Each structure stands twice: as C-alpha cells, then as structure tokens.
Chain A
Amino acid sequence: MRPGRYFLWMGGTMVALAVLAVLLGVLVDPYRMFGTPGLPGWTTLKPRIYERPGIAKIYQLERIAPRTVLLGNSRVEIGFDPASPEWPADTRPIFNAAMAGQGLFTALLMLREAIATGKLKTAVVGIDFLDFLQIGYSDNFALPPVGAEERRLLVGRDGGLNPARSLQLWRDRLASTLTIDAATDSVETLLDQDPETTTTMTPLGFNPLHEYRLFIARSGYYGLFAQKNATYVREYRRFKPPDFSHPLRIVNYRYLLMITRLAKAHGIQLILFTPPYHADYLEMLNQVGLWASFEAWQRTLADVVDAAKQGGVQVTLFDFSIYDRFTTEPVPPRHDLTSRMRWYWESAHYKSALGDKMLKRFFHGDKSLGYELTKANVDAVLARTRSQRAQYIGRINAEGTRQPLAVPDSDRVN
C-alpha cells in the first residue's frame, strides 16, 4: 500500500474511534456531564461517577435548579435522599450537593452555585468536627486559589459571570469523552449495572452506598465497624486538640461565616446540624483524647450561629452528636452475616433512614431525635450528653456487649 493510503486508513481509524468515543461518552454519560437520561439496565447506575464528583455534582445541580440543597461531606451525601417522602412538598426539588472528603469551602462554593441557579430557598448543611481538626488557623485569612471546581461555577467570586467557566466546560466535555478514563469508565458503566451492589449516585446527588452491601454480606456489620473504627482511631490519633478560643482564626469558621452571610444576602433559610455519629465514633473521640475539644467545638458553633442569627440570618443549629436510641444501635455480633442495622452503615456514616428521621426534626418538629442547639442551652445539652454516655457505658458493661471498638487489632475479623 502506498504511504498516502496508509495514512488515510490510519487517520480514518482515528477519526472513527474519536466519533465512537464521543458517542459512547455522551450516551453512557458515566459522570453525568451531559445529563443524558439513563437507560434502565444499561446506564442508569453510574459506578464510575465518583472518579469525577465535581463534574457530576455541579452540572447536575444546574440542571435540577433546586429549592433545597444539601451541603457537607460524605455523611450528608450518604445520609439524605432527596427523593425521600419526608421532604415537605414546598422544599422540592432537592439536590444533594454534599461531596465526600470535602469541607466547608466546597459547601460555600456549592451554595454559591445553587443560588446562581435561581430557585434556592433552603440549605441544609452538615457541620463536621473533622473539618475543624484537619484545617488549621490563619491570622491572614485568604480564600484558596481558584481550582477546577470553582472554575465550573456559573458565577465568579465577585458575583458576576464566571469568565473561566466556558473553557472549563470544554475541558470537562473532553475529559468525559476523549480520554481513556472516560472510555473505560463508560464501558465499565455498561457492564456494572447490578441494582444491589453497584456504586452509584442518583440524579439528585444521593449516594445509596450500594457497594457496602457486598462487604456486609461477606464480613457482616461487625467486620465493617471493626475495620472503619480501626481506621478512624489511627487517623484521629494524629490530630492535635484544636484551640477554639479565637474561632475566627480557624479557617473553617470563616467559611461558615461566609455561608451565613451569603444565605442572608439571598434570603436563604439555613439549617445547620452536627451529624448523628454512632456511639462507637463518639467513644473513639474519647479514646483519642478529643472529647473536650469536641465539646468546645459545639460551644463555639452555638456562639457563632447565635451571633449570625442576631445579625439577621435565618439559621437553626441542630445537634445529633448524642447518645440516644439511634446512635447506640447495637452492632450485630461477630460472624453474624444476616442481621441488618437499621440506622448505620458504620460508625461515621448513618443510613438515609436516619436521615429521614432528621428531616422530621427539621421540618415537622419531631423532637424524638436531637436538640436545637443555642448559646443558651449548649452547656445543658452537653451535660445531658455526658450523662447519656455514662448510662450507655453502664448498660453495655452490665450487658457485656462488646462493640467492635473494644476489640484489639490482633483479634479483628479474619
């Protein structure tokens, strides 16, 4: 074959493959870049969506244009299903914009994006102790440099149209079609559509955590709690107790303040809450010597929120980090692979069933779970939590119930 024809065939193959890759990426839409409707059994579940969560969350948020947005980290992403019937009709549509591993700065960005879509009325924000352990102090506060997530947003920091968005949009379109990752993720999406175990994110941004089902079937809840607890103990031992005496030196309090100001400026109702950690997790905080810091954090949080309220922000703070019948749900014993936990996946992640209960607290005044936390009642709430803890410890000691946290590493599931 003459070289010219060889090039023609070679080039033609490349063009044909490029067209195929674009079609595959758009039709399968593994990251929900294009909002292509899912084909049941083929593309509804998105097992590779967490490879590019920023793309999935931001562009999907724009398509939904929610009245209510959920913000926070994985606990919120896993814990609240926007499709739940517990959401009042006037809060819909709801979008879960929480992102695993992200803190309050990302929450601030997502709030900005949700406001830019034009219909937002309410923001439900999970405030996590972990955020205040990981990120330090600053006397010269400055926002971090603009990253890919922020370049995607409709509006810039000055409130005007974001000039970086169109280039980022094209980058994301390319990344979702003409890359080897997009191609393999599309194929994997087509091949992995098991409604029981496939990792996915619903179109409303909720992570149903299907993948844990497989692990639980193999190792039971005990195995999952044991493994995660060990990880948390190791991780949290590294943290030094933070100093909450000057909250505004703490970067995350700055972000929280910016969230409240943004909400006030746009007439958004803010619902803030501390997560309902499982008692194992709370015990872990005790074990690594962070309980006093945890209480100090809650006090400061109540102070900051009260100040915001007095400044005209429509904000309520709920505390679910307590010992109650939900958070002390017993973990099935070792080797029990059949019992199911109702409220928890593992000690730091609650199920959406518990999220539904929290919605009743937020919107229907059901006081069977958690407390509204204010500067006035914070000490009383904390004292009650300490007392609940003493009762809990007394009960499990009397019953001889061993939680996975108490199991030494060498005796873990194997």
Chain B
Amino acid sequence: MLFNSHEFLFGFLPITILGFTLLERVGSRGKYLFLLLASIVFYAWWDVRFVPLLVGSFTVNYVGGHAVHASRSRGSKKHTWWLVTVFVGLNLVLLGIFKYAHFFTQNVDLLLGTDFNLGTIILPLGISFFTFEQISFLVDVGAGRTRPRELLHYALFVSFFPRLVAGPILRYEEIVPQMANERRREDTNVDLATGLTIFFIGLFKKAVLADGIAPYASPVFDAAARGGHVDFLLAWGGVLAYACQLYFDFSGYSDMAIGAARCFGIRFPTNFFSPYKSTSVIEFWQRWHMTLSRFLRDYLYIALGGNRHGSVRRYINLMVTMLLGGLWHGANWTFIAWGGLHGLYLMINHGWIALAERHAALRCFRASRIGMTCGFMLTFIAVVVAWAFFRAATFAAAFNLVEGMAGQHGIVIPIGLEFALEPVRGVLDAVGVRFAEGSGTILVKTYLWIMALLAIALCLPSTQELMIRAKPVIETTGGSTGLTLEGCRWLQWSRSRIWAIVMGGMAFTGLISITHVSEFLYWQF
C-alpha cells in the first residue's frame, strides 16, 4: 500500500487515525497495540508472506538488545561487543540474502564462469531501512546510549507504518521515549492539523510535481539504454528532469512520512533539507537523506576510524563509506559507481577545504559570494552528473548520457522549433546545431518543467522551514550536521484561514493527481 494510493488515502490512513484517536480519548493504553497491528496490516498489504520476517526480525533483535544490555550491565565489555557483532551480523546476513545474493552470484559467475541459480528472491519491503535501524539500536545499547524498553514500543519502532516503506532511518532513542508521553486532547488536534498539512504538502510534491516531470525523464534513460545516441539537449533534459523527479519524489515521501507520524503524536527527524541549495558536496550530504548520512557517519565511517588515523585513512574511510552507501541503494555496479563518484567528490571537497585553510586568498574566495555561487553551481552539476549513474540501468547507458551531456553526440533541435529559432539560425549553424524530425513540444515542456521545479527547489523554503512554528521535526535535528533549522522569514505556515485555504487547494490538487499507481523511487532501496 503506497501513501499515494486511494486505499491508503481514503481507507487505511483515516481508519487508523480514527481508531488511534478514539483509543487515546478513552485513555486506552492499547492505542500503540492498535497502531502496531495497523502497521502489520500495512506491511501485509504488500505481501503477507513477509510478515513473519518482520515480526521475527524485531523479536530476535529485541531479545538481542536485552542480551547486550544485560551483558553491558554485568560490565563485560568484550562479551557485550561479541554479542553486538553476532546480532548485527545476523541482520546483515538477512539483508545480504534478500538484497545482494543475486548480485554476488552474478559476479562470481562472471569471474569464475560458474552458473549459480538462486531462483527468484523477492526483496522484502523496507528491509534496508529496518535492518539499519535495528543495527543502530544494538550498537547504541552496546555503547550504553540507550536501553531496551517495552517489546510493544520496540516492535512499533521497527514496524511503524509511516517510515516502513522508505525511511527515514530512525534511532530507537529518538522515537520510543515519545511513546511514553500522554497527549492532551488539544495536542491531539494540533498534531492532526500539523500532520495532515505536512502530509498533503508531501502528496502534492509527489503526485503533482514528481509524477508530473517523470514522463520527461524515463524516455531519455530508456533511449540511452537502447544504445541510441542521446544529444546534448536531450541528455541534459533527461538527467535534469530525473534530478527534479527524484528530489520531489523523495522530499514528498519524507514529508508524507513525517506528516503521517505526527498524526499519531510522533515527531521524526528531518530527512530532507533543500539539498540542491548546497554550496558544497559535504553540505549536500548534510541535506540529502539526512538520516542515512547520519547512520553511515555514526555506524560506518566512525567505526572504520573516521578521521582519527590521519588524512590518508580518512579519505579511504570516506570512500569506503560512500561505496557501501551506494551499494545500499541497490545491488548494481552503477549504484556503487554513484557512491564512488560521491566519495571522490567528498575527497576533493575536503582537500579543497584543507588547501583553502592554508591560503588566505583561497579562504577569502571560498567565503565570498562569488565563491559560494561557484560552489553551488559546481555542486549542482556534480550531483546531476552522478544521478546519470544512479538512474541508468547499465554503465553503457550512463556513459552514453554523460557523453551526450558533454556534447559528444552533438546538439539536435526538433524541426518543429526551426521557425521560432530563425532569428538565431546563424549562431546555431555556427555551433553545429542540427535539426531533426520532431515537433519539439516534448523538449520545450521538459525544460519548462525543469525550470519551474528548480525554481521551487532553490527559491522556496523546505517544508520544515515553512512549518517551523508547528515544530514539525525532532528539535535537535540539524545540530549534529552543523545545519540549524530556522524558519523562513517571508513564508511561514500558521493555522490561519489563508493557510487552510492554500493547504486545502494543495491537498485537492494532490488527490486528483493520483490517476495511477506510481511507486516512490526510494521504495526499491
């Protein structure tokens, strides 16, 4: 069941909110049990065969958490970390079987000429997300940062439906304590108003913006995959359209998850914070899929040694973290290449900062408006180029697109635009532009969509900034990334008549835009 499906919007969500709220109003402690059962129904809707996997996973990890906690309480550090390693290993084995077994055997077959056949392995919904959350739980218990509480709350932490499909990747300690709080009736209503507002902003982003631009991205990637030479305008149009689609798809999903959780009085951390506004790749990763970045930093990069063993080890750790981050997105070498590209970007970025720190002129340039603008443009182009590898099915398709973006396949304009371009015909001929069949309508629409969506992404505040007065996310979020969540000075939501009308309009537009099932891009990860 997807957030943007009719059964979710007109069935599951209203029924679950109603049931939870009624149980809360009568003071029943069964409200979280109801929410857990609802979450399991939500999971079963996708494929009932995997419910035992989910239940088994949170049960085993809960037991594991208790074992680790007991060992730590006894003061046995070595035994504690041995237990953590065993249970983390179990999680990774499960993830490995479902997500990477095919990839592994394919590569072994390629290298050794063998022919392993594992049959069909279905990737269970959300396994990448709940595996990471449970790993963070076990490590945090081992490190004494948290302790296991009620099984019901733990089970709900793992299966809570708003983040079950595609995150955000939560930490036990930031969610479970919220379940102990009793809401007053006024708070319930405020949470509902805030939650539904955020949810409908997300629905609008997904159904209107992301799905609206999607038809302009996919055909270009398909053409590249078929081996057709994709020219400069088409390649940039397709990859930029995908960059916008992914942005609004994931941003929309994150808003819907945050909004839905808030309806039940649970605040999530920020997961998405206007990443295309970044002026460096380091900043980009502080703004894009923030809870994944946080996980990779705290449980992988730092575990590998972080920056504690000199700059060479630091760069190696950085690259390893990003390569594994790429692999987490999907069992394909193109995802690893995407991660590797970002690893390279980050190394260059850190190198540039180190260099600038040693030279006053570079330091001044970096802090200047021109330096920031250059940083923004360079970051944006680098990120967009990397998306070609992220989205393309094969390396051949990705390189085809990148060559097109570099102008190696020439510049082709549909003949239907010839008339409009007559005044600049001389210039076009001089730079070798060719005209070919086609009305040009799609090309024009592609770039109009891109301009509109980039204007929204770059000029408007993020949902969290817009909603700052309603404290939309866990307040501490942002501190560890160095970013602070501040309200936008000129555009802030409040529970006013005008905002109710605006949000009603967005909700209506989002709802009537759902004409077919459109999966979230991060669903597949």
| Chain A residues at the B interface, C-beta cutoff of 8 Å | 1-14, 17-18, 21, 175, 178-181, 183, 215, 218-219, 223, 227, 230-231, 412-414
Contacts and interface: CB of A to CB of B under 8 A. Distances in A.
A413 B415 contact: yes
B415 A223 contact: yes
B189 A14 contact: no
Contacts, number: 83
A12 B434 contact: no
Nearest to B505: A13
Main secondary structure of the interface of A (DSSP, over half): helix
Nearest to B192: A3
A195 B279 CA distance: 51
Interface string B484-525: 000000000011110111011101110111010000000000
Q: Which of B436, B439, B507, B512 has the most CB of A within 10 A?
A: B512
B415 A414 contact: yes
A179 B508 CA distance: 10
B509 A10 contact: no
A180 B208 contact: yes
B89 interface: no
Given A1-B500, A3-B192, A21 B512 contact: yes
Contact of A17 (B189, B494, B499, B504): B504
A14 B495 CA distance: 16
Nearest to B429: A414
A231 B503 CA distance: 47
Contacts of B435: 413-414
Contacts of B501: 9-10, 13
Given A180-B513, A218-B419, 5 more contacts: A1-B496, A6-B500, A7-B192, A18-B508, A215-B439
A10 B504 contact: yes
A17 B505 contact: yes
A5 B497 CA distance: 8
B257 to A, nearest CB: 20
B416 interface: yes
Nearest to A182: B512
A181 B515 contact: yes
Contacts of A17: 504-505, 508
Given A18-B508, A180-B512, A181-B515, A414 B193 contact: no
Given A178-B512, A180-B208, A10 B437 contact: no
B418 interface: yes
B190 interface: yes
A1 B495 contact: yes
Contacts of B497: 1, 9
B189 A4 contact: yes
Given A4-B189, A180-B509, A219 B415 contact: yes
B434 A414 contact: yes
26 contacts: A1-B495, A1-B496, A3-B193, A3-B495, A6-B193, A9-B497, A9-B500, A9-B501, A10-B196, A10-B503, A10-B504, A11-B504, A13-B500, A13-B503, A13-B505, A14-B508, A14-B511, A17-B504, A18-B508, A180-B515, A183-B512, A215-B416, A223-B415, A414-B434, A414-B435, A414-B436
B512 A7 contact: no
A6 B512 contact: no
A215 B437 CA distance: 12
Contacts of B439: 215
A177 to B, nearest CB: 9
A216 to B, nearest CB: 12
Given A3-B189, A3-B495, A414 B418 contact: yes
B437 A13 contact: no
A5 B439 CA distance: 50
A6 B435 CA distance: 54
A7 B499 CA distance: 11
Nearest to B191: A3
Contacts of A10: 196, 500-501, 503-504, 507
A227 B437 contact: yes
Contacts of A180: 208, 509, 512-513, 515
